[in-house]
């Protein structure tokens, strides 16, 4: 079986684990296919992809729980989930953490924002610590852990943010992140002030160069790094194909374009390895069966991509 425990993965690793942000089963599948070892559910991108609205406090626990369960049940790599402010006070956080752990999340990122519509405002320290205690208690005995997050501004509130994260670790969080840091100098400062595992958030380019590298971060105690690209890449591809197809008033461009997989045609189904499902079914029926789309042959799984076992995806 694949190791779906993020805790075990982090305990055994000798390098920073890079976890792209995902928002649905297709983005999670794309991340798994190319070889990433873990992923992070982005609340903001779930809001856009699932509900069609910007990240402005519109997502709720039901949304996050629903997509977490589906990604976790169909992926062979562990998923950490952004639960925003926990969707309420300590009791709401306790309930949210319980439900998300049961849904398959392997880490929960809980932030100290005072208002989801204005994430630059911070909760009073003690109010945030109450939520941390609730989440830690809810996750006790599970393989899901708390990732504490502060929205403190590194330019004006760095010490405040670091103190909050150090206390969150003391209260039982396994990992922390000062979510607005972006440079190596920021990482070094946080490393000097906050003990334990640390996540470097949303790595990006600065002036055309990587803000940090995994080689920079590992010695500083940052064993987890997130980044955004999946939703932008998906929209980019859909818009590229769409502009051609609307001009042609047909699907010729998509059918003829050789993409990253080398597969021709209009369907992404081969990337989800349908034949593995048929092989699993044959264990129960004893009969071989080919998967088709309305009688049409489906291409084989592409060469050069990670093919996890069907048992690890169901």
Ranges of each domain in the chain: 6-232, 258-312
3-state secondary structure of 165: helix
44-52 long-range CB contacts below 8 Å, 24 or more apart?
A: 44/82, 45/21, 45/228, 45/230, 45/231, 48/23, 48/231, 49/23, 49/24, 49/231, 50/23, 50/24
| DSSP element (H, E) containing 223 | strand 222-227
pLDDT of 227 higher than 70: yes
Residue 265's closest CA among 281, 254, 275, 278?
A: 254
- What integer pLDDT is reported at residue 314 of this predicted model? 85
Average of per-residue pLDDT across 173-188:
97
What is the rounded (10 degree) CA torsion for 218, 225, 234, 263? 40
Spatial distance between the Cα atoms of 260 and 267, rounded to a whole number of angstroms: 14
Average pLDDT, the chain: 94
Measured at the CA of 84, the angle between CA 80 and CA 87, to 5 degrees, comes to: 120
The proportion of the chain whose per-residue pLDDT surpasses 90, expressed as a percent, equals 86
Once rounded to an integer, what is the mean pLDDT over residues 286-296?
90
Q: What is the mean predicted confidence (pLDDT) over 49-63?
A: 93
Query: For position 307, what pLDDT does the model report?
Result: 93
Q: Is the pLDDT score of 53 beyond 80?
A: yes
Is the pLDDT reported for residue 117 higher than 90?
no
pLDDT band of residue 42 (cuts 50, 70, 90) is very high
Q: Which of helix, strand or coil describes residue 199?
A: strand
Q: Which two tokens stand for residue 205?
A: 């380019």
**pLDDT on residue 1:** 42
- 3 state SS of 65: helix
Percent over 70 (pLDDT), the chain: 97
Q: pLDDT band for position 2 (50/70/90)?
A: low
H-helix segments, 75-220: 90-103, 125-139, 158-171, 184-193, 214-217
Mean pLDDT value of segment 177-191: 97
Q: Nearest 5°: phi and psi at 261?
A: -85, -20
CATH dotted code for 6-232: 3.20.20.60
Mean pLDDT, range 220-248, rounded to an integer: 97
Q: How far apart are CA 240 and CA 155, in angstroms?
A: 39
């Amino acid at each position: 079986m694949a190791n779906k425990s993020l805790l075990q993965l982090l305990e055994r690793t000798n390098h920073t684990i890079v976890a792209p942000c995902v928002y649905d089963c297709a983005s999670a599948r794309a991340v798994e296919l190319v070889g990433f070892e873990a992923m992070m559910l982005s609340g903001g991108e779930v809001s856009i992809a699932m509900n069609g609205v910007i990240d402005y406090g519109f997502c709720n626990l039901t949304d996050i729980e629903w997509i977490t369960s589906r990604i976790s049940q169909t992926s062979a790599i562990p998923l950490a989930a952004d639960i925003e402010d926990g969707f309420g006070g300590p009791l709401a956080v306790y309930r949210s953490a319980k439900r998300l752990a049961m849904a398959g999340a392997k880490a929960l990122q809980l932030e100290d924002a005072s208002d989801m519509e204005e994430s630059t405002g911070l909760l009073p320290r003690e109010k945030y610590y109450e939520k941390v205690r609730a989440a830690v208690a809810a996750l006790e005995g599970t393989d899901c852990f708390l990732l504490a997050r502060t929205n403190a501004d590194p330019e004006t509130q760095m010490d405040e943010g670091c103190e909050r994260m150090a206390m969150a670790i003391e209260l039982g969080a396994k990992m922390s992140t000062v979510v607005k840091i972006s440079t190596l100098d920021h990482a070094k400062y946080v490393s000097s002030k906050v003990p334990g595992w640390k996540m470097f958030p949303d790595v990006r380019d600065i002036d055309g160069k990587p803000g940090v590298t995994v080689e920079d971060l590992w010695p500083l105690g940052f064993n987890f790094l997130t980044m955004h690209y999946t939703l932008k890449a998906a929209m980019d591809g859909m818009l590229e194909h769409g502009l051609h197809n609307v001009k042609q008033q047909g699907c010729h461009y998509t059918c003829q374009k050789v993409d990253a997989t080398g597969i021709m045609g209009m369907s992404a189904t081969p990337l989800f390895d349908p034949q593995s499902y048929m092989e699993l079914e044959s264990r129960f029926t004893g009969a071989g069966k080919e998967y088709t789309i309305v009688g049409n042959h489906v291409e084989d799984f592409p060469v050069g991509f990670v093919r996890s076992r069907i048992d690890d995806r169901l």
